[in-house]
Amino acid sequence: MPELPTPDSAGCCGPLDARAADRDTATALARTFKALADPARVQLLSIVAAQDGAEACVCDLTEPLGLAQPTVSHHLKILVDAGLLAREQRGRWAYFSLVPGALSSLAAGLAEQVPTHQG
C-alpha cells in the first residue's frame, strides 16, 4: 500500500518530478528491448527457450537461422550483454541458456517503473 501521493499533485498532473528518477530505468529497459529488436535475435532466444533445459550449443543455432556462425555469435553476444542469455564455454563449443525470469521481469519492469499514484 503506497502512502499518500505528494500533496501538491492536485488532480490531473501527478508527481512529475518522480518520473525524472525513472529515466535511468527507462534507458536500461530500452537497451534490453533494443537487443530484441531484431528478428534473428528473437528467433535465437525462442530456439534456446524451446530446448531441453532452455539451453543450446552455438553449433546448433547457425543452421535454423541460415546465418554464418560469426553472425550468430554476434547476435548471441548482444543477447548475453542484455542479460537475456547466459553463456558457458564447454571445451570447443559455447552453450547458451535462457536467464530465468528475464523476459517476464522485462514486461514487469515497464509496469513497475512508474509508482502508482492514482487517487
Nearest 5°: the CA angle 50, 51, 54 is 90
Q: Which is nearer to its own copies, 54 or 87 (CB)?
A: 54
Tell which positions 39-98 bind its own copies, by CB under 8 A.
39-43, 45-47, 49-52, 57, 60, 63-64
38 binds its own copies, rule: CB under 8 A: yes
CA distance linking residue 88 with residue 9, whole number of Å: 50
Cell numbers 500500500: residue:
1
100 binds its own copies, rule: CB under 8 A: no
Question: Total binding residues for its own copies by CB under 8 A?
Answer: 47
Residue 98, number of CB atoms within 10 A of its CB:
21
Contacts with 110 (C-beta within 8 Å, 6 or more apart), sequence order: 29
Smallest distance from its own copies to CB 98, Å: 10
Q: Which is nearer to its own copies, 9 or 73 (CB)?
A: 9
